[in-house]
């Protein structure tokens, strides 16, 4: 349920919390200073006891015993505060957003005093009501994400900050700057600044100890990587980062899709991308050129009043196709579909995985065929070799695919401007996902980023990273790549990673067996989320203290006890 706060309440909150702050709906310019927090806390904080969280853990993960055990019994209760903050939109305009501050509580030593902060950036949402403070409202579309953040991080002693992003919940921005590297990292950092201000204002026994861990999943994987990059550029790096299942090689993923491999969920994701890139400071695209005539208003749909659960209603109403991003080829002259004679380059491309023919339709398709032809022509003239046209991805252990020097199509130029392959993290970095993910492709995410980082090992002695593929199905060993994180941390992380790999693969196989392969494919991306979150926390736990010879030995001894069950 969407909770709205009248301007009078926001104004009162400003007056009581800050003494003076921007008027509701008209936030002051944000520079990470005193004006960043607009209002907070908004309403009474939600309180979850250790018992509440324990019941939630048993309820949500009863069929996943290894995951439940690795999340662990809650140690702390959690108090959740909602706040609003000043930030900017995709065009650089002043706007506002809201977020959640989750503070551990209780008598255990790790539940109070100086605590580390986890900044968590959430995945794609199409419902405007997305609110990460909704830990007690099962009707809110962000409820599942919010409770996982509370269970995995706050209930184990981390202060958690979770922005809703500009364009959602209380935000007055009329669109969402989706996969806009500069804006989304600025938004996340502004939420962190405001949350720190709110934490100080709340007072009490819990305070910020200066350690910052940044993580997020899917869109949030992209946002967390972009945020780590922005913090590095500011000279204030995070303690460690764990981007999860994000499209870091953004241009390559877009190219892979246009070359004949539509992703699951693409008919929701693409309108968000187009709406975002129609609102850039420079180089905005025209949505009318991207979409087919039948769905020319798709860019205006999200964020909207419906979420993924109601997506079928949008399809039934003729607002969007279910899965078909592209027009299929006409099987014969006069039959529906595009002409192979007119578009020979498109006719030569596959109708490939993961959706195959479900991603194509002769008449009800999302993207204009003329626009797709122009896109593919630009790919052929300025290729990104991380997106081959065949039904196989690049080998991240081989030659590293570099970004094309000068794509000409505006959408490809925008995607290149937001690609993250040129980032070298200064802090320890963990990447997590699954190689069969049908929504965010592994090869254009962690695979490509890992390949790039490997080329920098010889010239960057401080580089530290690990990459984990959760999927060990069909006899594969799964990916576990490590460089520079140290023997003790590597031993402990690897043991937990192996347990999570086997647990995720078994659970996902069970879903596909019980409910069918199509449901298994649809669930894959979401099902991997808590497994990656647990791995992220395990990674962060290794960086709570500086490693000395004695702590190295202690961690090695502890790691030896974490045997595979």
pLDDT digit string, tens, across residues 422-445: 999 999 999 999 999 999 999 999
Residue 363: is its pLDDT beyond 90?
A: yes
pLDDT in the model for residue 553: 45
- Quick one: angle between helices 517-527 and 529-541, nearest 10? 30
| Nearest-angstrom CA–CA distance, 248 and 63 | 32
| Nearest-angstrom CA–CA distance, 516 and 420 | 35
pLDDT in the model for residue 392: 54
pTM of the model: 0.91
pLDDT band at 396 (very low <50, low <70, confident <90, very high): low
Contact 17, 39 (CB under 8 A): yes
% of the chain surpassing 90 pLDDT: 84
Which tokens hold the place of 532?
């990656």
pLDDT band at 544 (very low <50, low <70, confident <90, very high): confident
% of the chain surpassing 70 pLDDT: 88
Mean pLDDT, residues 145-165 taken together: 98
* pLDDT, tens only, 94-143: 999 999 999 999 999 999 999 999 999 999 999 999 999 999 999 999 99
Mean pLDDT, residues 85-97 taken together: 97
Residue 26: is its pLDDT beyond 90?
A: no
User: How does strand 113-121 pair with strand 326-327?
Assistant: unpaired
217 or 16: which leads in pLDDT: 217
How far lies 301's CA from each of 274, 279, 417, 445, in Å? 11, 15, 25, 27
| Nearest-angstrom CA–CA distance, 544 and 114 | 12
How far lies 295's CA from each of 300, 310, 333, 368, 476, in Å? 10, 18, 25, 9, 41
State the CATH architecture for 7-248+423-561: 3-Layer(aba) Sandwich (3.40)
pLDDT in the model for residue 399: 56
Mean pLDDT, residues 228-242 taken together: 98
Contact 539, 152 (CB under 8 A): no
| Domain residue limits, the chain | 7-248+423-561, 251-417
DSSP conformational letter for 299: G
Contact 191, 99 (CB under 8 A): yes
pLDDT in the model for residue 476: 73
pLDDT in the model for residue 547: 43
pLDDT in the model for residue 545: 67
DSSP conformational letter for 431: E
Residue 413: is its pLDDT beyond 70?
A: yes
Residue 555: is its pLDDT beyond 70?
A: no
pLDDT in the model for residue 10: 34
Mean pLDDT, residues 164-188 taken together: 98
pLDDT band at 548 (very low <50, low <70, confident <90, very high): very low
pLDDT in the model for residue 23: 32
Residue 19: is its pLDDT beyond 60?
A: no
**Which strand (E) or helix (H) includes residue 512?**
helix 487-515
**287, burial (CB in 10 Å: exposed 0-12, middle 13-18, buried 19+):** middle
pLDDT in the model for residue 37: 97
Mean pLDDT, residues 182-191 taken together: 98
Mean pLDDT, residues 468-496 taken together: 91
* pLDDT, tens only, 257-292: 999 999 999 999 999 999 999 999 988 999 999 999
* pLDDT, tens only, 57-76: 999 999 999 999 999 999 99
Residue 16: is its pLDDT beyond 80?
A: no
pLDDT in the model for residue 306: 86
pLDDT band at 35 (very low <50, low <70, confident <90, very high): low
Residue 485: is its pLDDT beyond 70?
A: yes
Residue 404: is its pLDDT beyond 90?
A: yes
pLDDT band at 198 (very low <50, low <70, confident <90, very high): very high
Alpha-carbon dihedral angle through residues 373, 377, 380, 384, given to the nearest 10 degrees: -80
pLDDT band at 478 (very low <50, low <70, confident <90, very high): confident
pLDDT band at 25 (very low <50, low <70, confident <90, very high): very low
DSSP conformational letter for 209: E
Residue 375: is its pLDDT beyond 50?
A: yes
Instruction: Please enumerate in sequence order all residues whose Cβ is within 8 A of that of 377, keeping only pairs 6 or more positions apart, or say none.
Output: 345
Q: Three-class SS of residue 416?
A: helix
Q: Three-class SS of residue 118?
A: strand
| CA nearest to 209, candidates 317, 349, 113 | 113
**Which strand (E) or helix (H) includes residue 375?**
helix 369-381
Mean pLDDT, residues 324-343 taken together: 97
């Amino acid at each position: 349920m969407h909770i709205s706060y009248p301007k009078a309440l926001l104004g009162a909150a400003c007056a009581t919390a800050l003494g003076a702050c921007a008027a509701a709906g008209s936030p002051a310019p944000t520079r990470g200073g005193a004006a960043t927090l607009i209002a907070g806390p908004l309403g009474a904080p939600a309180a979850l006891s250790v018992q509440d969280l324990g019941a939630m853990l048993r309820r949500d993960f009863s069929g996943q015993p290894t995951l439940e055990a690795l999340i662990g019994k809650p140690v702390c209760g959690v108090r959740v505060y909602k706040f609003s903050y000043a930030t900017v939109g995709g065009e650089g305009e002043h706007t506002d957003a809201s977020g959640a501050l989750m503070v551990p509580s209780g008598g255990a030593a790790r539940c109070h005093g100086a605590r580390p902060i986890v900044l968590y950036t959430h995945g794609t949402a199409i419902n405007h009501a997305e609110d990460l403070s909704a830990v007690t409202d099962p009707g809110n579309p962000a409820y599942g994400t919010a409770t996982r953040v509370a269970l995995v991080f706050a209930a184990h002693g981390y202060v958690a900050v979770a922005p809703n992003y500009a364009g959602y919940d209380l935000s007055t921005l009329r669109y969402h700057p989706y996969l806009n590297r500069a804006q989304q990292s600025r938004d996340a950092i502004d939420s962190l600044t405001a949350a720190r201000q709110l934490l100080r204002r709340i007072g009490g026994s819990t305070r910020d100890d200066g350690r910052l861990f940044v993580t997020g999943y899917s869109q949030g994987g992209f946002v967390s990587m972009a945020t780590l990059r922005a913090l590095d550029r500011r000279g204030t790096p995070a303690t460690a980062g764990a981007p999860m299942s994000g499209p870091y090689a953004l241009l390559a993923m877009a190219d892979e899709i246009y070359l004949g491999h539509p992703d699951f969920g693409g008919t929701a994701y693409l309108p968000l991308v187009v709406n975002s890139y129609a609102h850039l400071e420079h180089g905005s695209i025209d949505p009318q050129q991207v979409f087919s005539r039948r769905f020319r208003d798709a860019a205006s749909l999200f964020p909207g009043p419906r979420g993924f659960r109601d997506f079928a209603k949008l399809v039934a109403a003729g607002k969007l196709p279910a899965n078909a991003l592209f027009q299929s080829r006409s099987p014969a002259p006069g039959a529906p579909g595009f002409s192979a004679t007119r578009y020979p380059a498109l006719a030569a491309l596959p109708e490939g995985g993961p959706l195959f023919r479900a991603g194509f339709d002769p008449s009800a398709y999302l993207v204009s065929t003329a626009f797709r032809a122009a896109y593919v022509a630009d790919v052929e003239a300025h290729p990104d070799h991380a997106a081959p046209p065949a039904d196989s991805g690049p080998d991240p252990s081989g030659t590293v695919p570099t970004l094309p020097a000068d794509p000409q199509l505006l959408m490809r130029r925008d995607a290149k401007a937001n690609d993250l392959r040129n980032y070298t993290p200064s802090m320890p970095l963990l990447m997590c996902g699954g190689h069969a993910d049908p929504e965010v492709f592994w090869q254009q995410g962690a695979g490509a980023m890992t390949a790039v980082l490997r080329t920098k090992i010889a010239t960057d002695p401080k580089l530290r990273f690990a990459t984990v593929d959760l999927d060990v199905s069909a006899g594969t060993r799964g990916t576990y790549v490590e460089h520079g994180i140290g023997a003790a941390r590597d031993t402990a992380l690897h043991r937990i990673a192996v347990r999570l790999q086997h647990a995720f693969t078994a659970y996902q196989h069970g879903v596909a067996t019980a409910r069918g392969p199509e449901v298994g494919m649809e669930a894959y991306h979401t099902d991997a989320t808590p497994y990656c979150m647990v791995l992220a926390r395990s990674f962060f736990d290794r960086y709570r203290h500086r490693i000395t010879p004695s702590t190295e030995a202690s961690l090695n001894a502890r790691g030896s006890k974490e045997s595979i069950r």
